[in-house]
Chain A
Amino acid sequence: MAARQGRLGSQVDIPSFFIQILNSIQYGLLLFLCASGLTLVFGIMGVINLAHGSLYMIGAYLAFSLSEHLGSLWLALPVGVVLAVVFGAVLEWLLIERLYKREHLHQVLLTYGLILVFEELRSVIWGDDVHGVSMPPLLAASIALTDTLSYPVYRLWMSGVCLVLALLMAWVLLRTRLGMIIRAGSVNSEMVQSLGINIGVIHRIVFAAGVGLAAFAGMLAAPVSSVFPGMGNQVLIICFVVVVIGGIGSLKGALVGAILIGVVDTFGKVLTLEIAGVKILPELAGMSIYLLMAVILIWRPEGIFGKVRS
């Protein structure tokens, strides 16, 4: 994904190490944005949504189309988020709502069907080509670190936006009345219902927010990763790894998992280059995140912040 584009010489000096750190964090935060929706929807409604990655892809394609039509990513972002949230609410109303009481297997099946539908709709609407999305001019510059190394402003901005959103999410969940209801509803929805709160509305809000987050992550990533078929599935699998590492249902876990993956993925590539010297299967670096997952599974099968089943 995004971090793959970071270029680096074969020896690691301080500035390039610094760049890798920034890349790790930026990639991690973006993953967090995407994984948080997945983990929230599971934690609160108990639904595993395989189509989450497709929503990321839809976000990226929306960024592509909207910024062409509206002339700027600045306009595309808010319009795209609104569209995605509305889409999410409709999706919840039409289909997802029926899954809450079902087995995981049926959830997997239905949302897998949705992946095929979304991917094909993407092909019908946008075709199968790779598209670039241009950055807003304001963010298109780079900051020089040394004479030869610089860091793009857009990536810094991305990290900043993701961080703000992470804090905002934590604030909503921990400090607001809505957040309190959501947390209570995930533990005992009957109790919440008996307080006269319509839990169905809460679920719709949470799902729509999850879709909004995934789509927003896709929009943010579009200018750096470009927009291409199948991009959602790639992200979905990595989000799974994030969630397995962090513990599903935990926002904190998603953040820690995402940053870990960001670091391991970014440095995995650098280090294999270093150790191997020559390019002996540098592609194997892609395996590093799965190795990390395997280690976590051996150490703590429920994930770092997952609840231990008793």
Chain B
Amino acid sequence: MNAQLSGMERPGRSGLAPAASAALLVILVVAMAVLPLTPLGADKFTIQLLTRIMIMAILAMSLDLAMGVCGLVSFGHAAFFGLAGYVLALVAPQGEAAGFWTSIAMAMAATAVLALVMGALVLRTTGVYFIMVTLALAQMLYFLFHDTKLAGGSDGIYIYVRPDATLFGFRPFDLDNVQHLYYVVLVALSLSYLLLRRVLSSLFGKVMSGIRINESRMQSLGYATFRYKLVCFMLSGTFAGLAGYFAAVQFGVVNPDMLGWHLSGSAMMMVILGGMGTLWGAVIGAAAMILAEMGFQALPAVTINGSEFNLGKHWQLWMGSFIVLVALYLPQGLGGALSALWRALFARKAAPRP
């Protein structure tokens, strides 16, 4: 009962909040779009950081689709992220650029197939089994890439030349250009968000939430829930693949860590930190997590009782403690806290329909 209530949706088919948050989003996207034209945007580091955040936001959003919307707590999403990166690395000819359009399509297709196969297996289980099995299968993939020489073993593969976006002789953007990559990822994130939002409000989206809230009731209403969960898992995996593809483009290297469970754990943390089931929460969560990570890494060295202790080097200690605290005290995430605040401030104005 409590678990059900935690995903409480706002009443009403219209309301103040959706319009306001839409306006907020437009402002945010416009601000992001003009940023590279401002002095702040001239800083390569900032642009790259924002690109990285947006890539992780796509990953977190994809996980939110499975976890926050449909209730599929996947601890293996890094598998899709990493696989897409490896696909790019493997299809790129030695020392030459891969075609952007074909390689991105191939990467997403490959992750869709992986998600289909993995989903067919893991969706036979529920609850805590689902968590363990997704983790175990993703680790299997990790070991496959780590222990064998299929794709560079534990060192991974370098992508020396970034994909070439030429289409019918015209080259719309150059991925070697940091600002171009920034814009491409911004467009990818915005489109992904709009598309997934659209899916959420579709019939399929309603089925997904129904499954999260009460799967057995959905079945007795006549929904073959397995099929819907499988499609959701595939969709989610494919978007995780999109994120992984851009990550490989940005970093110019893929390695088994891209498939590792630390990434799955981080993605999960992003979704929870931002607030589940809203998609925009995942974006907030991704930004918050990456900034927190940077903050922890930037901690100085201190001297305790004469011996030096580097706080920043041991940033995982603070990250771990941070995660523990969020799990204990902020289970609905920043998004949940913001929504609660919003409700407290504006709830009375949004009168329910008579």
Binding site for B on A (CB under 8 A): 42, 48, 95, 98, 101-106, 108-110, 112-121, 123-124, 233, 237, 240-241, 243-244, 248, 281, 283-284, 286-287, 290, 293-294, 297-298, 301-303, 309
Contact = CB atoms under 8 A, between A and B. Distances in A.
Given A237-B136, A244-B136, A105 B67 contact: yes
A116 B124 contact: no
List the 9 closest A-B pairs by CB distance, nearest first.
Answer: A116-B320, A113-B323, A117-B320, A110-B327, A113-B324, A283-B147, A120-B317, A301-B124, A290-B140
A120 B328 contact: no
A109 B323 contact: yes
A293 to B, nearest CB: 6
A297 B269 contact: no
B324 A240 contact: no
B331 A114 contact: no
Given A244-B136, A287-B140, A294-B121, A113 B128 contact: no
B322 interface: yes
Given A240-B132, A240-B136, A290-B136, A108 B317 contact: no
9 contacts: A105-B268, A109-B268, A109-B269, A109-B272, A109-B323, A112-B269, A121-B317, A241-B136, A301-B124
B223 interface: no
Given A113-B320, A124-B317, A104 B131 contact: yes
B272 A105 contact: yes
Contact of B121 (A237, A283, A298): A298
Contact of B128 (A48, A102, A281, A294): A48
B147 A113 contact: no
Contacts of B140: 287, 290
Contacts of A302: 125, 129
Nearest to B326: A109
Contacts of B8: none
B222 interface: no
Contacts of B137: 290, 294
A95 B127 CA distance: 22
A115 B320 contact: yes
Nearest to B2: A101
Contacts of A281: 148
B75 interface: yes
A293 B124 CA distance: 12
A281 B150 CA distance: 9
Given A114-B324, A301-B124, 17 more contacts: A48-B132, A104-B128, A105-B73, A105-B272, A109-B323, A112-B269, A113-B319, A116-B316, A117-B316, A117-B317, A119-B320, A120-B316, A244-B133, A283-B148, A287-B140, A297-B133, A309-B126
B139 interface: yes
B144 interface: yes
A160 B211 CA distance: 48
B133 A114 contact: no
A262 to B, nearest CB: 17
B135 A98 contact: no
Nearest to B139: A237
Contacts of A95: 324, 328
Contacts of B326: 109, 113
Interface in B301-324: 309, 314, 316-317, 319-324
A122 to B, nearest CB: 10
Given A105-B73, A120-B317, A110 B323 contact: yes
Contact of B323 (A112, A248, A283): A112
Interface in B1-25: 2-3, 6
A35 to B, nearest CB: 11
Contacts of A287: 140, 143-144
A136 to B, nearest CB: 33
Nearest to B144: A287
Contact of B261 (A98, A233, A301): A233
B129 A248 contact: yes
Contacts of B127: 104
Contacts of A293: 133, 136
B265 interface: yes
Interface string B326-353: 1110010000000000000000000000
A49 to B, nearest CB: 11
A301 B132 CA distance: 12
Given A104-B127, A241-B136, A290-B136, A113 B322 contact: yes
A258 to B, nearest CB: 15
